[in-house]
Structure 1
Amino acid sequence: MKNLLKLTLLFTLLFSFKGKAQLDTLNYLKQFEANKANYIGQPFSKLLQDMTQIQPKTAWVYPIKNKRSMIRNTMFNFCEKKYSFGNAVTLLVTWQNDILTSQAKVLGTQNHYFFTNDERIFYGSKIVGDIMVYRY
C-alpha cells in the first residue's frame, strides 16, 4: 500500500512539472510580446538574439488569402515538430513587408519546417511588423 502511494505521488509530481515547463515557455515568450515596441521596425535577428532561454524549433508560413504569392505572417513554434499542431506555444510574427511565398516555401520544404540556420539567416534580415504569442 505504501509503494502504491509513493508511485502515485511520483507520477503526480512528474506530470505537474511537465505542464509547468510549457507554461514557463508561454510566460517567457509573453515578455517579448509585452515589450514588442523594442522589436517592431527592427530585424527579426534582434528578437532572436534576445531570446536567450529558448529558440524556435519550427517555422510555418501561410500565404495571404487573396494574394497567394505573398506571406505576411510566420508562425514560430517552440516544441518538437510532431507537437506543433495542438496546444503549441506559438510566436506569430507579422512582417513589415510581405515575403514571397516561393522563397519561404522552398526553405520550409527543404528543411521540413524545422528552424535551422538557413531560416535564421533568411528571416533574420526581415523587419518585424508585429508580434503575438499564444497557445495554438
Structure 2
Amino acid sequence: MTIGLPPYAEILRVSVEAEDGAPPVLLMPFADDVLGRPGFLHGGAISGLLEMAAIAALQHALEAEGGGRIKPVNVTVDFMRGGRDKPTRAAGVVTRLGTRVANVEATAWQDERDKPIAAARMNYLIVRD
C-alpha cells in the first residue's frame, strides 16, 4: 500500500512504519525543523504529524473500499504534555467512514503509546472513486 502524504511531511521528515495490513504508524525524528522552545517540539509540528497520521489512516481505510479523495473539514488538537527532543510517532483511527464524511482520531506519543503527548479529532469530506 502506498500512502500519499502532503508535502509538509517532507519538511518534518515523516516516514511511514507500515505493518502488514494494519493502519500505518508515522515517525517524525526530532530536528531543528520541528524545534519550538529549546528541547521541545513545536506545536505546529505536532499538529502536522497528527493530521498526516489521520490522512494515512483514512487512506488505508478507503483503499480497502476502492479508494477516494478527501478534503479536511475541521480539526481539534489537544496538547497533553510537551514533546521532548526525541522521535515522535503518531497513528490514526477511523471512527466513522460514511459515504461522504469520515471522522478520524489520531494520537502522538514518544516513549509509550498509552501516554500520548497530543491527540486530534478530524472530519473529512470524501469523494469516492
Tell me which interval the TM-score lies in, with the shorter structure as reference length.
under 0.3
Higher relative contact order (CA 8 A, sep 6+): 1
Quick check: which one's helix share is greater?
1
Quick check: which one's strand share is greater?
2
- Greater radius of gyration (CA): 1
TM-score by length of 1: 0.27
